[in-house]
């Protein structure tokens, strides 16, 4: 049987700390706008409009928020930065952004689409 490293109470306490990290309202709005950019990409370029068949759902927004918080917590901070969001965005959204046939034919990857959005959606 594997050795238990953390107790259930420790895991629940860590989860509570992560969820209590400060996320500035402007950064929260940025996360919403970023995920919306996967659903209505026209404002960020015709190439993205051609490449994205289906964008991330509202659950993608929640996942990006929580993972950015967890990244900040693991870095020892009690607040989330734009860099936290940018770091976790590809891993959180890669499977949530479905590419069009045109994108696949052009060799475009989900990571490329997410990277383009990270470059184009203005930071707060």
At 61 the pLDDT is: 97
- In this prediction, residue 1 carries a pLDDT of 76
- pTM value is 0.90
pLDDT in tens, the chain (124 residues): 788 888 899 999 999 999 999 999 999 999 999 999 999 999 999 999 999 999 999 999 999 999 999 999 999 999 999 999 999 999 999 999 999 999 999 999 999 999 999 999 999 8
Distance between CA 19 and CA 4 in Å, rounded?
A: 24
Say which residue the tokens 């490329």 belong to: 112
pLDDT of amino acid 4: 80
Rounded distance between C-alpha atoms, residue 105 and residue 36, angstroms: 24
Q: What angle do the packed helices 58-74 and 25-39 form, to 10 degrees?
A: 140
Q: What is the pLDDT of residue 3?
A: 84
DSSP for 62-117 reads HHHHHHHHHHHHHTT-SB--HHHHHHHHHHHHTTTSEEPHHHHHHT--HHHHHHHH
Is beta strand 52-54 parallel, antiparallel or unpaired with respect to 98-99? antiparallel
- What is the model's pLDDT at position 97? 97
Q: Which domains does the chain have, with CATH numbers?
A: 22-120 (1.10.8.80)
């Amino acid at each position: 049987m594997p050795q238990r490293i953390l107790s259930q109470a420790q895991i629940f306490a860590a989860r509570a700390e992560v969820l209590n990290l400060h996320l500035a309202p402007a950064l929260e709005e940025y996360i919403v706008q970023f995920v919306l950019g996967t659903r209505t990409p026209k404002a960020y370029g015709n190439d993205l409009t051609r490449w994205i068949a289906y964008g991330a759902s509202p659950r993608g927004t929640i996942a990006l928020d929580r993972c950015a918080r967890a990244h900040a917590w693991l870095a020892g901070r009690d607040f989330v930065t734009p860099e936290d969001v940018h770091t976790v965005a590809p891993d959180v959204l890669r499977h949530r952004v479905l590419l069009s046939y045109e994108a696949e034919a052009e060799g475009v990857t989900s990571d490329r689409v997410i990277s383009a959005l990270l470059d184009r959606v203005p930071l707060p």
